Amino acid sequence: MDPRAGTPAQAIDLIDTDAVIGAYYDRRPDLDDVAQQVVFGTSGHRGASLDGAFNEPHILAITAAIVEYRRAQGTDGPLFIGRDTHALSLPAWQTALEVLAAAGVEVHIDARDSYTPTPAVSHAILLHNGAATSAGVRSQGPGLADGIVVTPSHNPPRDGGFKYNPPHGGPADSDATGWIAARANEILRSGVGQVRRVSLETALAADTTRRHDFMAAYVDDLPNVVDLEAIRTAGVRIGADPLGGASVEYWAAIAERHGLDLTVVNPRVDPRWEFMTLDWDGKIRMDCSSPSAMASLVRIMAGDGAGGSAPYDLATGNDADSDRHGIVTPDAGLMNPNHYLAVAIQYLNSGARPHWSPTAAIGKTLVSSALIDRVAGSLGRTLLEVPVGFKWFVPGLLDGSVGFGGEESAGASFLRTDGTVWTTDKDGLLLALLAAEIQATTGRSASQHHASLVEQFGESWYARVDAPATLAEKATLGRLTPEQVRSTSLAGEPITAKLTTAPGNGASIGGLKVTTENAWFAARPSGTENVYKIYAESFISAEHLALVQVEAKAVVSAALS
């Protein structure tokens, strides 16, 4: 933990936006350096222009590859494209539009020339492809839409990101991203001068470039997935902090359109994120699940530390592209994301959504809390435990066989009230509004509901530790096998399982999970940053969790040595 974690950013922490944008246009990647090639992680290609990892050649090549990919797949409908508030997002969005227009792709851009949250892009794709109709979402045939979101999510301000959503509306699977990345790198090596493009002015004026009101479509449809009438009637006071991200205008529109007592806590947009408090490692990062990054909002809910009362019944935060949520209550502060996921699952499957299929499964990533397992068991619901990555929930959300899919990193989505698909990408606004619905319909905060779950299932201690790792170390970690774990016990308990594939679908987890009766840890490389992650949980004590973490680190160190 950096000693300045949770304190306001200072001038030394801020990026030089001119330098970041200048490097995007001026720097050419060194393709002999793997770190400067196109690599798709769990949420697209990410990198920094100053490092030669996110520059105009990358975006030219990726977009050209997407044009080829969608053509090969027979996707000939509109492509919905959105962007967040990072400094590199607008330049990359412009570059992509120039290539798409030159290729004759019908592109739908934001009608307000503004920011578009990731869930709004997913929502737009699905509506075009048949969601909310009796026929449901089409998976084949002419006119299917897909999309691009230009965002590095919660990454630091210097970073850029670029991800592709196929016609199912969710993150592309590894087959698609693998093909796109390989083809993009081929184009980079042969020279991006071959990529056809037109000027930005020509692209914006092209007949194939259409204006789409992402915000109105999303905001107007919200009553079909969350009980806004109950929130309005109960007068729940909501403080929504966009953390300088793409949800900033959406929250104001939601408040006005649906008559909610909702205040946008901080409407500022600054690509340097001058107003942020520093994350655990001393970096500016818009991680709404981090107590350090959310310190300002937590202080507001604590009466600014002056003995005052909380100004809201509920406060929420979102990351830069609004696919993640942070829930702050007056009685508990910032909730652990796992705790809130368990509460949301318990609430939604205990009569709040009577039109969902009684066999609809509960989806969780295998690094999410085992509290979810216990809640699912008490509900009699099937638990679908999958590797890290929201893409694994897409098929089930599409056909209604999965009612709720959630990740430990504060990302989730769930079905409409009629049991049909809402979004197949994470929706931070939706999960924030659900916390308000829970408050409105039960009279208890989400954290109070979690306290009840603790009484029923026991208290757990959960933590994730990040540590620096080279690309080679990350690759080694991703190839760990059960045989490399020679221990038979973990923190004083017999090991009950050593997993390298997910129980829910048999897919590789790209790492290792070790379980005991009352604890577990999982180790996996980050798909977006040069770190590795150790997730651990104990149902015994905080001290036991610390012991689990120590022994987990020893296992990882032995594997990397």
Q: The sheet that has 461-468: what strands, in order across it?
A: 461-468, 531-538, 519-525, 508-515, 497-501
Given the residues 89, 122, 153, 290, select the one marked as catalytic.
153
Strands 508-515 and 497-501: antiparallel
Q: Which of 63, 62, 19 is nearest to 158 (CA)?
A: 19
171-210 in b/e form (b: 16+ CB < 10 A) is bbeeebbebbbebbbebbeeebeebebbeeeebbebebbe
CB 100, CB 107: distance < 8 Å: yes
Cα gap 177→164, rounded to integer Å: 8
Calpha distance 520→501 (Å, rounded): 15
How much of the chain is in helix, strand and coil states, percent to nearest 5?
40, 20, 40
Nearest to 345 by CA among 289, 401, 404, 424: 404
Torsional sign, CA 377, 379, 380, 383:
negative
226 and 430 Cβ atoms separated by less than 8 Å: yes
Q: How far apart are CA 490 and CA 507, in angstroms?
A: 25
Strand partners, 340: none
Report the relative pairing of strands 383-386 and 361-365 from DSSP bridges: parallel
Sheet of 79-83, strand order = 40-41, 44-48, 159-165, 146-150, 79-83, 107-110, 209-212
Q: Within a 10 A sphere around the Cβ of 270, how many other Cβ atoms?
A: 14
Spatial distance between the Cα atoms of 83 and 162, rounded to a whole number of angstroms: 9
Query: What's the gap between Cα 439 and its chain centre?
Result: 24
Residues whose CB falls within 8 Å of the CB of residue 404, separated by 6 or more in sequence, listed in order: 344, 345, 348, 349, 360, 362, 363, 412, 413, 414, 415
**How far is the C-alpha of 261 from the C-alpha of 237, rounded, in Å?**
5
Three-state secondary structure along 483-497? HHCCCCEECCEECCE
Burial pattern 479-517, b for ≥16 Cβ within 10 A else e, equals ebeeeebeeeebbebebeebbbebebeeeebbbbbbbbe
Please check whether residue 348 is in contact with residue 403, taking contact to mean a CB–CB distance below 8 angstroms. Answer: yes
- Both tokens assigned to 40: 């798709």
Is 122 in the active site? no
Q: Which residues have CB under 8 Å from 239's CB, separation 6+? A: 262, 263, 265, 297, 300, 301, 311, 312, 314, 315, 316
Catalytic residue set: 153
